[in-house]
Structure formats: structure tokens, C-alpha cells
Structure 1
Amino acid sequence: MLDDFDRRILRMWQTEPEMTAADLAGALDVPTARVTRRIERLRETGVLRGVSAVIDWAALGYGVEVSLRIQIDKTVAGAFDAFMAAARKVPEVTEMQSFLGRVDLRLTVIARDMAHWQSLYRDRILTLPHIAEIEALMHVATVKTDQALPI
């Protein structure tokens, strides 16, 4: 699906995502139109899903991150969908992943401080529907975070 030219574009963009098509073309020593066409094709095929801003939530005053492992009460029809719909409405839930196995879902939740976390947990998280079991894991440190792929 990807040829060497596509890979070169993606490798460069991963290391310097602020580069424009003209910047990429200059670095690759090819015409800007060629890079632009390739970028359009990468978007059309779904390889490039979009451009986003990466915001450091800690810099905005959120000092607590918690990972929640949740088991859903699967004896209730539609419980999984009802839980996910309700959890999506909690703005402090920054990520939700589903799993096969003992844990059904993992939520990442941010809070300003421990008092805010306690309020969120009691008033928003524990009131989510169809929770059979929940385990909270307090985030201590990020050991590795890397969105770059080995292209």
C-alpha cells in the first residue's frame, strides 16, 4: 500500500509535524505538487486521519490522572452501550478502550487535584450505569509515550 516515497513523507512528518507540504517537498527535493498529491492520497486511503493539536492537560492545571479498569454487568441487555454512552458525557474522561477478557473497559480520567478526583469519582464515575466491578489505578509517571510508528 505504501511505497518508499510515502514512507519518507510519513517519517519526516512524524519527526516534524509542523512542516507544510512545501517544507516536505524542499526536504525531499521534489516538487510541492507531488507531495501534495501524495498527502491527499494518504488522507483518502485513511492512512492520515487528520491533524490535531496536542495539549498538555497538566499545563492547564490537571495534576491527577487515573486509569479505571471496569467490568460491566453483562446480565443486563445493552449494558455495555449504555455505559459507554454515559461515560462519553464525562468531560474528564479523556480515553476509553474496550477489551476482551476479565476487564471490559479502561477509562483514563483527569482531575485538577485529589479533591476534584474524589468528587468526580463519587458523583460522576460511580453513578455510571451497569458497573459490576471497578479498579482505580493512580498514575505516577509516564515511562514512555510515543505516537510515532516505525515506518
Structure 2
Amino acid sequence: MLTDTDRRILRHYQHDPMLGPADLADRAGITPATCARRLDRMQAAGIIRANRAVIDWRALGYEVEVSLRITLDKTQPRAFDEFIATARNVPEVIEIQTFLGRVDLRLSVIARDMAHYQQLYRSAILDLPHIADIEALMHVARIKSDEVLPV
């Protein structure tokens, strides 16, 4: 599926997606036209999903991150769908993950400070539908957060 050339392009591209096609081609050891064609092909195939800005939410004044482990009342047939649809509308929920096992979902929630988190918890989180159990884990440090893949 991926050639060695594709992998070379991806290795350089994921480290610096702002590289222009000529610079990326030079680092990958190919011509700019070949590089552009291969990037287009990998985007069309869904290998490269997006280019995006990663914003440091701490720089915007958010100092608190909490992971909420949530177990839903699964006696309700639409519990997952209704919970997820409602949770998506809470701007401070920056990530939603689903699981198999005792915990059904994990929400990552950011807040300016503990008072703001407490207000969010009471006014937005506890209002989410079908919650049977909730456990909060306060983030202390992010040891690794890297989207670079070993290609």
C-alpha cells in the first residue's frame, strides 16, 4: 500500500506539515511534482486526514484538565447516542472516547481554574443524559502527547 518513498514523505511531513512542496520533496529525495502527486494520492486515500492548527489551551487561560470516566445507564436503548450528542455541545469537552468494559466513555474537560471546573461540572456535566456513574481524574502532568507515527 505505501511505498518506501511514501513513508519518507510521511516521516518528514508529520514532523513539519508547514514545509512547502519543494522543501518536502528535497528532504524526501524526490522531485516536487512527484511529491505533490503522492501527497494528493495519500490525502485521497485517507492516509493523510487533515492539516490543522494545534492550539495550546493553557496559553488561552485554561489551567485545569480533568478526565471523566463515565458509565451509562445501558437500560436506555439510545443512551450512548443521546449522551454523545449532548456532550459534543459542551465547548469545554475537548475529547470524547468510547470503551468496551466497565467504563463506557471518557471525557476530557478543560477549565480556567477549579472554580470554573466546579461550575462546569454542576451546570453541564451532571446534566448529561443517562449517567449511571462518574469518576473524575485530575490531570497532573502530560508526559507524552505525540501524534507522530512510526512510518
Calculate the TM-score normalised by the size of structure 2.
0.98
Tell me the residue number matched to 2:29.
29
Q: Equivalences for 1:122-133 in 2 at 5 Å?
A: 122-133=122-133
Mapped partners of 2:3, 2:134: distance in 1: 45
Tell me the residue number matched to 1:135.
135
The answer as to 2:71 corresponding to 1:82 is no
Shift in Å, 1:26: 2.0
Mapped partners of 2:28, 2:142: distance in 1: 34
Tell me the residue number matched to 1:69.
69
Shift in Å, 1:145: 1.0
Tell me the residue number matched to 2:49.
49
Mapped partners of 2:49, 2:147: distance in 1: 13
Mapped partners of 1:90, 1:28: distance in 2: 42
Shift in Å, 1:24: 0.8
Residue type of the alignment partner of 2:57: W
Tell me the residue number matched to 2:97.
97
Tell me the residue number matched to 1:106.
106
Q: How many residues align?
A: 151
Secondary structure of 1:91's aligned partner: coil
Q: Which deviations, in whole Å up to 9, do the C-alpha atoms of 1:58-113 show, x marking residues without a partner?
A: 00000000000000000112111100000000000000000000000000000000
Shift in Å, 1:25: 1.3
List runs of 5+ in structure 1 lacking aligned partners.
none
Secondary structure of 1:118's aligned partner: helix
Tell me the residue number matched to 2:59.
59
Mapped partners of 1:53, 1:15: distance in 2: 14
Mapped partners of 2:87, 2:14: distance in 1: 31
Give the share of equivalent positions with the same residue, in percent.
Answer: 62
Kept in 1, the 8 Å contact 2:12–2:28? The answer is: no
Q: Which deviations, in whole Å up to 9, do the C-alpha atoms of 1:105-135 show, x marking residues without a partner?
A: 0000000001100000000000100000000
The answer as to 2:42 corresponding to 1:38 is no
